[in-house]
């Protein structure tokens, strides 16, 4: 995915305030569907899923008075495109310090697009144990027509119909200067 | 995102940049976790084939490479010289080209003569990893030593490292001297006179000092690396007897007191207990010899992973 240069921003679809609101709604939905924060295990997918999962965990703690378990997945070694992406990408740590056995896992990522990242995350998760159930929370869903695998999100911040040529960028203060979601496109020559 | 390692082969440390070494070490660090999990396997190299081609005996290195390949889901095949066609008179190049025709992705080579992996790298499409060539280089050993040092000392920059013993015949010493000086350590080597060259790898005054006695080298050291006395390479009279070697050059508890109080002790194995290293040092609290083996696996996983990443058409 890298940091593309020469991208033109077509429109901004979320700002800092709307991201915040979406995340507090998602936290409520997660708690409601799981009947509380007990047994709940939030797992952020590197990179941008991690700070989003952190905010969700904080929101859930405020709502319920119990902190959910928290972990990080790096799916690099589980990708299905390793030999096609050029030089192998940098691997980072997976941190699942608490046992996932029988937990209710909420995978958190920034954008749901083809579904391949989530497939890799699920494969990796299963190597760590047998959770009670796994659900998916994303800030932006680019729409079902792009899906290459039968995967959908249980909690969605915003659904944004996009073209294949477009790129959704979730910018977070941990990695970027601003906090926003924008639709970008490569300039046509 | 740094993609600082894009080579086809890993033949030695000498030609690597400090950035490439850092990328290897950083990647190795994340692979350590895989071996600590319940399921010690990730699918990263599924469908890749790794051949271990060992013309010299090895337990540790060969097992380590084999496990590294298997934990990345690659298929690993071991060939040792006693069962190979080389025993029937085939040349090494012919063996390698025949293996290459079976389209493996990586061939790991250990040979008693310097330069064999480099020759194979020229003719094979597969990536070649040098697992030790004569007294030339043993890059993954130096990388795992560096990882052990980093893990226990934080930084390699500015450390005093003493390397003791048979410097002349040691590929471990060569690879380590290159790596440690590239990362900014001060390296001092010492051993019996005939086994210590006047200049080593052309690095004297470039981070490397040759010490007259091992006591000089040990003084104030942060890291002490003890080399194995390679009985198989001792064709000449480099020193009178093993007993004398252990008296004058063996690392004992008393000698270790010359180093810093928190100094760590490394040995590439297999150890000759009571000769180059006293048993109470080898088993003592400063010794990280078994940690080295653990890190070795992680380093070899990192090497296989980085070499197998889209390296076609890449120049060495």
Q: For B310, which of A86, A93, A124 is closest by C-beta distance?
A: A86
CA distance B172 to B179: 11
**pLDDT mean over B168-187:** 96
What mean pLDDT value characterizes chain B? 91
Token pair for B203:
């690095």
Domain contains A189: no
Q: What confidence category does residue A5 fall into, taking pLDDT thresholds of 50, 70 and 90?
A: low
Total tally of structural domains belonging to chain A: 1
Task: Name every chain B residue with its beta carbon within 8 A of the beta carbon of A127.
Answer: 37-39, 41-42
The pLDDT of residue B139 is above 60: yes
Query: Residue A55 sits in which domain range?
Result: 17-80+91-160
What's the fold here for domain B139-293? Rossmann fold (3.40.50)
Nearest alpha carbon to residue A170 among A160, A162, A179: A179
- Rounded to 5 degrees, φ, ψ at B286 are -80, -15
Stretch among A44-53, A147-156, B305-314 having the lowest mean pLDDT: B305-314
Q: Quote ipTM for the complex.
A: 0.76
Stretch among A87-96, A173-182, B283-292, B305-314 having the lowest mean pLDDT: B305-314
Q: Give the nearest chain A residue to B8 (CA atoms).
A: A87
pLDDT digits (tens, 9 = 90+) for B225-272: 999 988 776 666 778 888 889 999 999 999 999 999 999 999 998 999
The pLDDT of residue B1 is above 80: no
What's the pLDDT at B92? 87
pLDDT digits (tens, 9 = 90+) for A72-122: 999 999 988 776 666 677 888 888 989 999 999 999 999 999 999 999 999
Task: Name every chain B residue with its beta carbon within 8 A of the beta carbon of A76.
Answer: 44
**pLDDT mean over B108-126:** 95
Residue B121 Cα distances to A2, B106, B115, B167, B306, angstroms: 31, 10, 10, 27, 17
The pLDDT of residue B190 is above 90: yes
Q: Which residues of B touch A (CB under 8 A)?
A: 1-3, 5-6, 26-27, 30-31, 33-34, 37-39, 41-45, 72, 305-306, 308-311
Domain contains A3: no
Domain contains A5: no
| Domains B18-137+295-307 and B139-293 agree in fold | yes
Domain contains A129: yes
Ramachandran class of B201: left when φ > 0, alpha when ψ lies in -120 to 50, beta otherwise: left
Token pair for A90:
């940098």
Helix segments in B183-276, DSSP class H: 214-218, 242-249, 253-256
Report CB contact under 8 Å: B1, A2.
yes
CA distance A63 to A74: 28
As a whole-number percent, the residues of chain B with pLDDT over 90 amount to 74
Q: For A127, which of B39, B44, B45 is closest by C-beta distance?
A: B39
Task: Name every chain A residue with its beta carbon within 8 A of the beta carbon of B308.
Answer: 82-83, 88
Domain contains A86: no
Helix segments in chain B, DSSP class H: 18-34, 60-71, 92-101, 116-123, 139-153, 171-182, 214-218, 242-249, 253-256, 279-282, 289-307
Query: Are B150 and B25 in contact, with CB atoms under 8 Å apart?
Result: yes
What's the pLDDT at A21? 96
Structural domain boundaries of chain B?
18-137+295-307, 139-293
Task: Name every chain A residue with its beta carbon within 8 A of the beta carbon of B43.
Answer: 77-78, 123
Residue ranges of E strands in chain A: 8-14, 40-45, 69-73, 104-112, 133-141, 155-159, 166-171, 180-185
Q: Which residues of A touch B (CB under 8 A)?
A: 2-3, 74, 76-79, 82-94, 123-124, 127-129
> What CATH number is given to the structural domain containing A51?
3.40.50.2020
What's the pLDDT at B313? 37
Domain contains A71: yes
Which residue out of A78, A91, A97, A128 would a mutagenesis test of the B interface target, given it has the greatest number of B Cβ atoms within 10 Å?
A91
> How much is the pTM?
0.87
- CATH class as words, domain B18-137+295-307: alpha beta
Report CB contact under 8 Å: A127, B309.
no
The pLDDT of residue A189 is above 70: no
Nearest alpha carbon to residue A91 among A64, A72, A113, A108: A72
């Amino acid at each position: 995915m890298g940091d593309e240069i020469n991208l033109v921003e077509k429109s901004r679809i979320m700002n800092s305030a709307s991201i915040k609101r979406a995340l507090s709604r998602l936290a409520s939905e997660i708690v409601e569907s799981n009947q509380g924060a007990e047994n709940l295990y939030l797992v952020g997918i590197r990179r941008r899923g991690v700070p989003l999962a952190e905010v969700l965990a904080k929101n859930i703690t405020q709502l319920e008075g119990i902190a959910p378990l928290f972990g990080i997945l790096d799916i690099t070694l589980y990708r299905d495109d390793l030999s096609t992406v050029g030089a192998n990408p940098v691997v980072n740590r997976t941190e699942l310090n608490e046992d996932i056995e029988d937990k209710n896992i909420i995978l958190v990522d920034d954008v749901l697009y083809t579904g391949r990242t989530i497939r890799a995350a699920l494969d990796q998760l299963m190597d760590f144990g047998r959770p009670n159930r796994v659900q998916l929370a994303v800030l932006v869903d680019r729409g079902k027509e792009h899906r290459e695998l039968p995967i959908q999100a249980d909690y969605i911040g915003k659904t944004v119909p996009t073209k294949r040529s477009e790129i959704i960028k979730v910018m977070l203060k941990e990695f970027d200067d601003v906090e926003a979601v924008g639709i970008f496109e490569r300039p046509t020559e | 995102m740094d993609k600082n390692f894009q080579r086809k082969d890993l033949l030695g440390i000498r030609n690597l940049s400090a950035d490439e070494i850092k990328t290897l070490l950083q990647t190795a660090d994340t692979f350590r976790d895989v071996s600590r999990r319940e399921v010690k396997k990730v699918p990263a190299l599924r469908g890749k084939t790794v051949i271990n081609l060992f013309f010299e005996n090895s337990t540790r290195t060969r097992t380590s490479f084999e496990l590294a390949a298997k934990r990345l889901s690659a298929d690993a095949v071991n060939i040792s010289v006693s069962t190979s066609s080389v025993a029937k008179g085939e040349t090494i190049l012919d063996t390698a080209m025949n293996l290459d025709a079976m389209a493996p992705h990586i061939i790991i080579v250990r040979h008693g003569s310097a330069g064999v992996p480099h020759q194979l790298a020229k003719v094979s499409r597969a990536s070649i990893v040098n697992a030790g060539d004569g007294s030339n280089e043993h890059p993954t050993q130096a990388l795992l030593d560096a990882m052990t040092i980093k893990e226990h000392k934080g930084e390699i920059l500015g450390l005093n490292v003493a390397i003791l013993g048979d410097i002349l015949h040691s590929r471990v010493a060569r690879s380590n001297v290159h790596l440690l000086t590239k990362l900014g350590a001060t390296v001092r080597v010492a051993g019996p006179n005939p086994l210590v060259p006047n200049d080593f790898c052309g690095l004297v005054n470039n981070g490397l000092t040759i010490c007259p006695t091992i006591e000089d080298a040990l003084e104030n050291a942060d890291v002490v690396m003890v080399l194995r006395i390679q009985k198989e390479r001792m064709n000449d009279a480099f020193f009178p007897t093993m007993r004398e070697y252990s008296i004058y050059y063996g690392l004992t508890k008393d000698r270790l007191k010359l180093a810093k109080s928190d100094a760590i002790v490394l040995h590439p194995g297999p150890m000759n207990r009571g000769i180059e290293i006293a048993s109470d040092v080898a088993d003592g609290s400063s010794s990280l010899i078994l940690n080295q083996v653990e890190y070795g696996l992680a380093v070899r996983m990192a090497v296989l992973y980085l070499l197998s990443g889209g390296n076609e058409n890449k120049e060495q």
